Amino acid sequence: MTGHFFEGAEKLLEIWFATSASSTAKYLPRNDLRNIPRDIIEEVLNLVNCKVLQYAQSATTDTYVLSESSMFIFRTHFVLKTCGETTLLHAVQPILELARDYCDFDVVDQVFYSRRKFLRPELQKAPHTSFDHEVAYLDSLFEGGSAYVLGRTNVDCWYLYTLDKTCVHAKTDQTLEIIMTDLDRDKMKIFYQEHTSSVAEATKKAGIDKIFPNARIFDYLFDPCGYSMNGLLPDGHYFTIHITPEPDFSYVSFETNVPYQQYNDVIRKVVALFNPGKFTTTIFGGTASTSLDMHRKLFLYSDYDRIDHQVVCLVDYDLIYSYYKKHPS
Amino acid sequence: MTGHFFEGAEKLLEIWFATSASSTAKYLPRNDLRNIPRDIIEEVLNLVNCKVLQYAQSATTDTYVLSESSMFIFRTHFVLKTCGETTLLHAVQPILELARDYCDFDVVDQVFYSRRKFLRPELQKAPHTSFDHEVAYLDSLFEGGSAYVLGRTNVDCWYLYTLDKTCVHAKTDQTLEIIMTDLDRDKMKIFYQEHTSSVAEATKKAGIDKIFPNARIFDYLFDPCGYSMNGLLPDGHYFTIHITPEPDFSYVSFETNVPYQQYNDVIRKVVALFNPGKFTTTIFGGTASTSLDMHRKLFLYSDYDRIDHQVVCLVDYDLIYSYYKKHPS
């Protein structure tokens, strides 16, 4: 007999596009991923096995809260993050075709596919049953793919697939992801409908509205439990949080593309809100902005030991992976 | 039909010992791995499927040239490196027992097991058929083992298993390994008996005697081809080179424990001698001595692009992995 289980760990895909005609970023109005019609987007999400729950727009960003996590669509790139037993990689080929057909984007500028090691990989559907299978699938679609494993393969690790190439646009970006497990049981109660009457109340009780006070928040409380939110910030910045509160497999993810300089503070705030037993941070920063020696000294948090600290110097990015564990108290 | 093949890539094991009685390094004469009788050592090597070809001693070091690579035994640690289809991990349990029975070493201070991705993993014998199997085997013998993958899993990568603990003695050490593939065909001809009449001539023609001019060299030229050497240097330092010269699967490894400050020069010299199409360097250095930012700027070599550069900050060490590829000319 197997009990109730949900794989909170998301598959995370980010693809950046360019045109071979104008590599110096003078785009035509047609060169915009937000031109892809909404019903076509929903068809692609059907292939992934998830549905749109909420949709909103800002000047820079289309944001979707999904039945399994989130999507953000920008002019030249999109972010698709899906949890559970979704088949995210089935979206890749259709998206490449749509970007070409609707937006004249004929160049893939950069790809990032990443995820944490699954708790129960045997429940996943192909090609997500192992990282090797995912890599083979991506290698069939892209040239120059590079597959990395960060962390400890026999304890907890995080996988990344990206392209070994110089980017036109992607390199102006940066991303922080915080993946938290063994969460505070009392804090997780907030994300059960039996304890919290509305999603707005959950967002407020948890303090999520305080992380970036100037955000427009789109949030969703699942029945009987679980929580998702997308936050839109000025200048094309966003953040997104997904919560699987069940004690046996509790999982919270936080992701943002606000500038690198804020990451130490943001990590401190987010970890204080959720009080995880363990968490990993993955940071993609431009190579110019990161001092590896500084990073090693600075990104330390009271109550936590940094168990792992790894750096991968990619062509346009430094990727910094850290794994933290609460002190035995 | 399958042609002739030899897996040059070595399995590399280093184990450091201590005693629970005297953790402050006041050892008795009995606490010395070199006390283990030679015939018992040879029995352990039988389990690995290799034989002793040459043996020599210095004040600090027992050195063995093996039918498949090399062994070094020091007072509190040993280095065993074996290539081909040897079953190196079968030596671990016997060595732990011998260290306890003959030397009163009842504490494993640190373990490093590493290897490059095999060209033909399907030819290996258990538990070496996959890194996951090797890790499971080591996890059955040690507490707190941490398994890492450096490099690109879908291109070329390097595996490491080590213990997550503070060491008593191991941290005073440092190691450089250079793993070279796609080697210069003319240089590799030196290591065929049909082209070179003696091992001394091979060592001289290749310039191996010039790397550390003050070394005592123990070298061996295989029939019909292949080469191994161990070099002893003052203060317990050593270097060792192993060469598989066949063009279809050419492979050269270089390893030394001379101080970190020499590594940039040593790499330059060794790469000039063998002129590989690709090479990786793995460096274990004390965390105090390495500036990650300096390392990133300094360890660059003309004629080669650094394709990958990764850092793993371990408890007592920084591990730095770099992968270099010759410019297309």
Segment A245-254, tens digit of pLDDT: 999 999 999 9
CA B178, CA B299: separation in Å to the nearest integer?
13
Alpha-carbon gap: A311 to the closest alpha carbon of chain B (Å): 5
Instruction: Kindly report which listed range (A79-83, A163-167, A228-232, B133-137) carries the lowest average pLDDT score.
Output: A163-167
* pLDDT value, residue A293: 87
pLDDT surpassing 90 at residue A24: no
Tell me: is residue A246 an annotated ligand-binding position: yes
Is the alpha carbon torsion for A148, A150, A154, A156 positive or negative?
Answer: negative
According to DSSP H, which parts of A63-211 are helical? 92-103, 131-139, 185-189, 199-206
Please give the single-letter amino acid code of residue A79.
Answer: V
Per DSSP (E only), the strands in chain A are 11-18, 52-57, 62-66, 69-73, 77-82, 107-116, 145-152, 156-163, 175-181, 216-221, 227-232, 238-244, 251-256, 278-286, 304-313, 317-326
C-alpha Rg value of chain B to the nearest Å: 19
Contacts with B147 from chain A: Cβ below 8 Å: 152-155
H-helix or E-strand containing B273? Answer: helix B263-274
* pLDDT value, residue A144: 95
Say which of A70, A228, A250, A253 is annotated catalytic.
Answer: A228
- The band of A290, judged by pLDDT with boundaries at 50, 70 and 90, is confident
Burial class (CB in 10 A: 0-12, 13-18, 19+), B6: buried
What is the third-level CATH fold of A11-326?
Answer: S-adenosylmethionine decarboxylase (3.60.90)
- The band of A318, judged by pLDDT with boundaries at 50, 70 and 90, is very high
Contacts with A132 from chain B: Cβ below 8 Å: 153
Q: Which of A142, A299, A312 to mutate to test the interface with B (most CBs of B within 10 A)?
A: A312
According to DSSP H, which parts of A164-235 are helical? 185-189, 199-206
Tell me: is residue A68 an annotated ligand-binding position: yes
* pLDDT value, residue B21: 79
* pLDDT value, residue B286: 74
- The band of A1, judged by pLDDT with boundaries at 50, 70 and 90, is very low
Q: Per-domain residue ranges for chain B?
A: 11-326
* pLDDT value, residue B22: 61
Contacts with B281 from chain A: Cβ below 8 Å: none
Q: What's the first-to-final CA gap in chain A, in angstroms?
A: 35
Q: Give this complex's ipTM.
A: 0.94
Enumerate residue ranges in chain B where pLDDT < 70: 1-2, 22-25, 170-171, 288-289
Contacts with A308 from chain B: Cβ below 8 Å: 146, 312-313
* pLDDT value, residue A295: 86
Q: Which of B111, B169, B109 is nearest to B135 (CA)?
A: B111
Q: Is A157 known to be catalytic?
A: no
* pLDDT value, residue B211: 98
Nearest beta carbon to residue B154 from set A139, A152, A291: A139
- Tell me which chain B residue has its CA closest to the CA of residue A139: B154
The answer to whether residues B159 and B114 touch, using CB atoms and an 8 Å cutoff, is yes
CB contact under 8 A, B132 and A153: yes
- The band of A171, judged by pLDDT with boundaries at 50, 70 and 90, is low
Which residue, chain included where needed, has tokens 């990395």? A148
Which residue, chain included where needed, has tokens 């039918």? B67
Q: Is A228 known to be catalytic?
A: yes
Between chain A and chain B, how many beta carbons pairs sit less than 8 Å apart?
A: 71
**Strand order across the beta sheet in which A156-163 lies:** A52-57, A62-66, A69-73, A77-82, A11-18, A107-116, A156-163, A145-152
CA B293, CA B300: separation in Å to the nearest integer?
13
CB contact under 8 A, A152 and B146: yes
* pLDDT value, residue A3: 85
Which residue, chain included where needed, has tokens 């600075």? A298
Burial class (CB in 10 A: 0-12, 13-18, 19+), A144: exposed
* pLDDT value, residue B2: 62
CA B145, CA B135: separation in Å to the nearest integer?
8
pLDDT surpassing 90 at residue A200: yes
- The band of A170, judged by pLDDT with boundaries at 50, 70 and 90, is low
* pLDDT value, residue B25: 57
